[in-house]
A and B are shown apart, each in its own frame.
Chain A
Amino acid sequence: MVQLTVNGKAQKIDIDPETPVLWVVREQLGLVGTKFGCGASLCGACTVHIDGEPVRSCVTPLSEAEGKDVTTIEGIAAPDGTLHAVQEAWIKHQVPQCGYCQSGQIMSAVALLKENANPSDEDIDSAMSGNVCRCGMYTRIKAAIKTAAKGA
């Protein structure tokens, strides 16, 4: 039995602790906003925060999240439903196309802005280049991050 907190809620999970966090949140907890893209830490679609740090949940065993705080895309808006500044900026810039990569993109962007409230182009590139967008929305992602930084 592995205990952890997911989006502020205590959870006890009875599963092989080697199971990647990605599949635990999707299949055990029904939080399907976190996506499977590559399963090999190559695309960032599965990005969640563990104790505030962005991690690739497809290669992070549940055991590593034991006793920690996991935040998924479903958990970054305020409890009253007010969207995070990054989400607002994403809508403003009409970032998503197919949208499949965007949970991961947003989680990486939120983590970046927490670390660095005013990132340069290079900072954004280096924080975001692990997140693939096959729809190629990079210029919009970058613009939205800058907007969110200004608003934050």
Chain B
Amino acid sequence: MVSRAEKKAVKKAKRANESRARKWTRRSFIGAGAVAGIGVGGALMVGIAIRPGDRTDELAKFVTEGQEQLITTWVKIAPDNTVTAIIPHGEMGQGVHTALSAMLAEEMEADWDAMDIMEAPAEKDFANFELGREFLTGGANIPSPLFDTVNGLMLTAAKSMDLQITGGSTSVRFTGVAAMLTAGAAARELLLEAAAQQWDVPLGELRAEKSYIYHGDKKAPFAEFAEVAATLKPNLQPKLKKRSDYKLLGQSLPRVDIPAKVDGTAMFGIDAQVEGIKYGTVMAAPVHGQKIAKLDSKDAKAMPGVIGVYNMSDYVAVVAEGYWQAKQALDMVEVEWTVSGTENVNEESIFAQYAQSLDGGKKKVLHKAGNVTKGLKSAASVYEAEYRVPYLAHACMEPMNATAWVRDGKCDLWTGTQNPLGTRMVTAETLGMDPENVTVHTAFMGGGFGRRATPDYTNQAVMVAKKAGVPVKLIWSREESTQQDHYRPSVLGRFKAGLDEDGMPISWESDFVHKMDPPEASAVFYDIPNVRAQYADSPTHIRLGPWRSVDHTQHGYFTESFIDELAVNAGIDGYEYRRKLLKNKPRHLKVLDTAAKMAEWGKALPAGQAQGISICESFMTIVAEVVTIDMSQGEPRVLHVACAADAGLAVNPDGFEAQMESGIIYGLTAALYGEISIEDGAVEQSNFHDYQPMRMNDAPEIDVKIISSDAPIGGAGEPGTPPIAPAVANAVFKATGKRIRQLPLSKHEFGAAT
């Protein structure tokens, strides 16, 4: 029974928490550099004490001794006993600040309700080395005894690669697991040890709870021991809790960033406030690679409020008193662009090039098992299919923007970025400055999805601000954001399977163009003895970049469509066919079964309706989705999505569900309407009328079921996306008999289904 007083206290704590969240949003804007020292505002930073020295110099030792626990995140304790988690990832709505601070609090036994959060500054020590490690090891599974060693190695690698990236669903599964839990546990042990000294009692008689240390009836706040704790030598391998002992993790915690997002006080990059600010906007060459040949800015310069019109070589910039004035003036600018030689490129020529690359080009093998040539020889039959997906833009809700002020040999940059450290390095390079003189003030991101990992827009802001000599908030129009993206590649994939007498695959070959990350995206987890996945490079002048779930978007669609085709070919139900191939994969099987059960797979449906199923594994999370669609109007309408997911442990279950819902809608938008097409070398789409997002009236109901397992913690932000396109395409086949081998679905005509 909770008493009234307790309820009141909880309420108060919640309110305090809300105001802290608000405080935080502002703080991250004020001074990222402020946390990089000891004793800011009287606060004691335990994190400094538990960091094992300068890691760069100690690399060799890490590698040879292999016993280092790198604590890459900082935790500090203020005299008022507020524990602050310093989070090395940007918040783009994935709830990472909440999840990571909860992970720290869990192991530290800190009072989560009274915890403060701040985003880490763009300093090298906060580099996201885990992401780097994955790049360098090709995503291979690292045996656990080597884990620490590889961490050490990768930290240095990541540092040199300037990685501090929020992407690849890495925040919780890597930073959280490898850094936050460990940092929390180490901090707790230090505090307990300090208390044992100060109170002169045996360590074993002490316990920590909600930011207090207890000895029998005696208790004192963490803050009392922080100073001594900071002088102690940290245990490099602190004892971590068992999952079954978690109190916070696995609970749905209200997200700390949400209160500020309902009253308009959340600060996004576009909301930066700087004294004397002016506003800029740009138009880059419509054909990527062209440059300005001739610029007539007479009329633009004469417009009211215009401060300057600048020839920036591959783009035109206007700076004015306000964004709208800048935009009006930009529309008056007349530009002739140079000829880059790619002005004839279009959809057809691009896919013809891909086909050529696959026909004759050199291919690199990514995955290999058994021998596909032998497998094919012994096959009773062969089945082949070819699939295509288009370029996709990210269409973040917040158009690209950054505010820069370049003066006195220094640069301040305010922006929402998935890559603050990389942005800082690139800015320094662009300006010919020492990175020490560049400060990046990070803000909330109005969507990232991979787009905000590429610092081209910040670079423009910096260059334009330097030219204009005033602080400039540079904002891309929606059109610019659509046409100057770094796109999910368009891809051609060819699949060939050798089948036994029962139609089950004994060999699997996939050939495709483009490979980004992660490499396992094109691997198949089905039990098939002979596998080969290989790719050919086939670059075009269209810029590519990571897009939510990266290579998994195309490969999820390819693999799960092809498997469905094989099932149809074998005359076996798609769900049952997958089950046969997952006999030895209990986690996958459970996820698949759960989704099927949720949707009552195989139940009788009204005329025109059909179900489709798919299962993908990405970023260590397995997700199966069953969609129910209605084709009675002649085009697919998605009514319902049943989603089952095993991420090992969902740190914040409600947040995890929200991520699944989000990933599904994002993927559905792409599956149904998403296409960036190229004509005369340029992107054809421009705004939400021709690059349509899914809207509420078309959005399905979504049910999510989380399955817990003892597997390592997997990602949340991306794994919901890959299975949705194939699930819909498979449902469309069931309803219409038409196999969709090219996305988006809106390209296809369907008669009314029966």
Interface of A with B (CB < 8 Å)?
15-16, 19-20, 23, 27-28, 30-40, 42-43, 45, 72-74, 77, 83, 87, 90-91, 94-103, 106, 124-126, 128-142
Are A30 and B262 within 8 A (Cβ)? no
Are A136 and B661 within 8 A (Cβ)? yes
Residues of A within 8 A of B445 (CB): 98
What is the distance, in angstroms, from A100's C-beta to the closest C-beta of chain B? 3
Interface size on B, residues (CB 8 A): 65
Are B661 and A134 within 8 A (Cβ)? no
What is the distance, in angstroms, from A50's C-beta to the closest C-beta of chain B? 17
Residues of B within 8 A of A126 (CB): 697
Residues of A within 8 A of B605 (CB): none
Given contacts A38-B688, A74-B263, A136-B664, contact A101 B397 (CB under 8 A): yes
Which residue, of A16, A94, A99, A125, has the highest number of chain B Cβ atoms within 10 A? A99
Are B397 and A125 within 8 A (Cβ)? no
Q: Is B658 interfacial (CB 8 A cutoff)? A: yes
A-B contact pairs, 24 of them (CB 8 A): A15-B322, A23-B324, A30-B273, A35-B446, A37-B399, A42-B478, A43-B478, A73-B264, A74-B263, A83-B263, A98-B93, A98-B396, A101-B397, A102-B262, A129-B695, A132-B693, A132-B695, A135-B447, A135-B666, A136-B663, A136-B668, A138-B696, A139-B661, A140-B658
Given contacts A33-B265, A98-B397, contact A43 B688 (CB under 8 A): yes
Alpha-carbon distance A141/B699, docked complex (angstroms): 11
Alpha-carbon distance A142/B663, docked complex (angstroms): 18
Question: Which stretch from B250-258, B311-319, B596-604, B629-637 is at the chain A interface?
Answer: B250-258
Alpha-carbon distance A83/B398, docked complex (angstroms): 25
Are A42 and B268 within 8 A (Cβ)? no
Which residue, of A40, A95, A100, A128, has the highest number of chain B Cβ atoms within 10 A? A100
What is the distance, in angstroms, from A85's C-beta to the closest C-beta of chain B? 11
What is the distance, in angstroms, from B577's C-beta to the closest C-beta of chain A? 30
Partner of B478, one of A19, A40, A87, A140: A40
Given contacts A90-B262, A91-B254, contact A37 B397 (CB under 8 A): yes
Are B264 and A27 within 8 A (Cβ)? no
Given contacts A27-B323, A132-B688, contact A36 B270 (CB under 8 A): yes
Given contacts A27-B322, A38-B687, contact A137 B262 (CB under 8 A): no
| Per-residue interface assignment for chain B, residues 383 to 426, with 1 indicating a CB less than 8 Å from any chain A CB and 0 otherwise | 00000000000011111000000000000000000000000000
Given contacts A94-B658, A98-B397, contact A128 B696 (CB under 8 A): yes
Name A's interface SS.
loop
Q: Is B733 interfacial (CB 8 A cutoff)? A: no
Residues of A within 8 A of B94 (CB): 97
Interface of B with A (CB < 8 Å)?
92-95, 254-255, 257-268, 270-271, 273, 279, 304-305, 322-325, 327, 395-399, 444-449, 475, 477-478, 654-655, 658, 661-666, 668-669, 687-689, 693-697, 699, 701-702
What is the distance, in angstroms, from A27's C-beta to the closest C-beta of chain B? 5
Partner of A16, one of B304, B323, B665: B304
Are A36 and B264 within 8 A (Cβ)? no
Are B259 and A91 within 8 A (Cβ)? yes
Given contacts A133-B397, A134-B396, contact A42 B699 (CB under 8 A): no
Given contacts A27-B323, A101-B397, contact A39 B93 (CB under 8 A): no
Alpha-carbon distance A100/B447, docked complex (angstroms): 8
Partner of B264, one of A15, A23, A34, A97: A34
A138 (CB) vs chain B CBs: closest residue: B699
Are A98 and B446 within 8 A (Cβ)? yes
Sort A-B residue pairs by CB-CB distance and give the 5 closest, nearest first.
A33-B264, A136-B665, A100-B446, A97-B93, A99-B261
Residues of B within 8 A of A37 (CB): 397-399, 478
Given A35-B398, A42-B478, 7 more A-B residue pairs with CB atoms under 8 Å apart are: A16-B325, A33-B263, A42-B688, A74-B263, A91-B259, A98-B448, A139-B702
Alpha-carbon distance A16/B325, docked complex (angstroms): 9
Are A99 and B446 within 8 A (Cβ)? yes
A16 (CB) vs chain B CBs: closest residue: B304
Given contacts A38-B478, A97-B658, A139-B699, contact A134 B444 (CB under 8 A): no
B272 (CB) vs chain A CBs: closest residue: A32
Are B93 and A139 within 8 A (Cβ)? no
Residues of A within 8 A of B689 (CB): 40, 42
B717 (CB) vs chain A CBs: closest residue: A97
Alpha-carbon distance A20/B93, docked complex (angstroms): 28
Are A96 and B262 within 8 A (Cβ)? yes
Alpha-carbon distance A102/B93, docked complex (angstroms): 12
Residues of B within 8 A of A98 (CB): 92-93, 396-398, 444-448
What is the distance, in angstroms, from B119's C-beta to the closest C-beta of chain A? 15
What is the distance, in angstroms, from A26's C-beta to the closest C-beta of chain B? 8
